[in-house]
Amino acid sequence: MVGDDTIYALASGVGPAGVAVIRVSGAAASRTIGALTGREVPAPRCLTLRVLRDGAGEVLDRGMVAWFPGPESFTGEDVAEFQVHGGSSVVDGVLGALGRLADTRLAEPGEFTRRAFVNGKMDLTAAEGLADLVAARTAAQRRQALSQMGGSLAGVYEGWRGELVRALGWVEVGLDFSDEDVPENELHQQAVEILGAVRAQIARHLDDRRRGELVREGFRVAIVGPPNAGKSSLLNRMAGREVAIVSTRAGTTRDIIEVQLDLGGLPVTVCDTAGLRETEEDVEAEGVRRALKEADRAGVVVAVGSADTALPEAPGRAAEPIRVWNKVDLQGRPAGAEGIEVSAMTGAGLDQLLGALEQAVRSRYGDWESPAVSRARHREALEGCLAALDRAVGGGSGELLAEDVRFAVGCLGKLVGRVDLDSVLDGVFAEFCIGK
């Protein structure tokens, strides 16, 4: 995918807009400015107003042109950017004019960022952070993406990699001089100490209840309880729209119904489920089975009851559920019962419930300050590294020990992209869209 071609694409969103940005990267970038404006490249890194024309001299737009000579550019190559009015005819006109020039072609998805990576502008975790920032819907997602783009994960992983390389040095010196008068035991001991320390840090980093991955995907919250407690009504109230069917009949909901919420910046997926009860009816029984599975999967369970249905024991593996008494407009919770009083009908108590939910998510996923594993790709590499270090500190010696440490170093290298494996890169950049 990476080549000598000069690539171009619409970098801003598709559809009519005030402004559209078209980005060009590669050796021919300065020529594209010449071809479209009929003039020399403007001063670097300044916006300059120019008339843009196609090859036949037809005016396409009056817009701003920016010139970023490499390596001081996003990709590290020569880059030109055209800020034009964001109508489809203007954008198509400019893209068409660029496409008719020699040595240019439309960029593949993620190709600009891939070139930035290949040219050493960012490591692989920073490139992933950039993809996350483009996809971020909530403040927690934005914070995590920006921190990762800024090198928070790379810093941690490079630090460990450096330590392992140092340990490998001790092991290899021990190997080279094993016949001579070098205290091999001491060298070995030094190495194992370093390996053990890094191993402990990686284990702690992995033990994060998947916080970083859940920030990307959304924390799951399951609403469970007996039929007719008002679970679907509560979901609709939280979503602010009629997502789930509500009826006076018990056993209305069967499928899992999901709604994405932004809860104080946290991305949360709230799931409505079938009312829990013994039933002979096979479709409803399947619904109950799915409800129990969802309760197991969710990080937080909201157990809903009401005076006419009572509050059930919350199923699922999650920690202590958030207990909720619904329909307080009819009747408050029974004396001695615990739980937040709400009314899905009037909205009473909803703010308190949302506050408790946010609090539960924040406290159950621990330390929000340190950078977290944000992708399965990272988790796999770190687990591979951990397993190799387990073998290494578990009594390995000589060449076998060196081999385990080299493997562990390789795992961390793959993480930040020091090992330039095409398969790794294809996977990472496949999730970008065109123009990024």
Ligand X SMILES: Nc1nc2c(ncn2[C@@H]2O[C@H](COP(=O)(O)OP(=O)(O)OP(=O)(O)O)[C@@H](O)[C@H]2O)c(=O)[nH]1
- Residues at the interface with Mg ion (CB under 5 A): 232, 252-253
x-or-dash string of contact with ligand X, 303-332, rule CB under 6 A: -----------------------xx-xx--
Q: Rank residues 152 and 233 by Cβ distance to ligand X and give the closer one.
A: 233
The binder of 214, among ligand X, Mg ion, none, by C-beta within 5 to 8 A per type, is: none
Pick the piece of the chain touching ligand X (CB under 6 A) from 106-114, 187-195, 250-258, 398-406: 250-258
Is 243 among the residues that bind ligand X (CB under 6 A)? no
Output phi, psi for 253, to 5 deg.
Answer: -80, 135
Which of 95, 243, 250, 419 is in the footprint of ligand X by CB under 6 A? 250
Closest separation in Å from C-beta 231 to Mg ion:
5
Closest separation in Å from C-beta 253 to Mg ion:
3
Q: Rank residues 253 and 306 by Cβ distance to Mg ion and give the closer one.
A: 253
Closest separation in Å from C-beta 244 to Mg ion:
6
The four Cα atoms 26, 31, 37, 43 give a dihedral, to 10 degrees, of 70
Ramachandran assignment for 331, one of left (phi > 0), alpha (psi -120 to 50 degrees), beta (any other): beta
Q: Which of 54, 123, 119, 120 is nearest to 84 (CA)?
A: 54
Q: Rank residues 216 and 327 by Cβ distance to ligand X and give the closer one.
A: 327
* Amino acid of residue 280: E
Which of 156, 344, 386, 425 is in the footprint of ligand X by CB under 6 A? 344
Closest separation in Å from C-beta 246 to ligand X:
4
x-or-dash string of contact with ligand X, 59-88, rule CB under 6 A: ------------------------------
Residue 296 has which token pair? 């197991």
Contact positions vs ligand X (CB under 6 A): 227-233, 246-248, 250-253, 274-275, 326-327, 329-330, 343-345
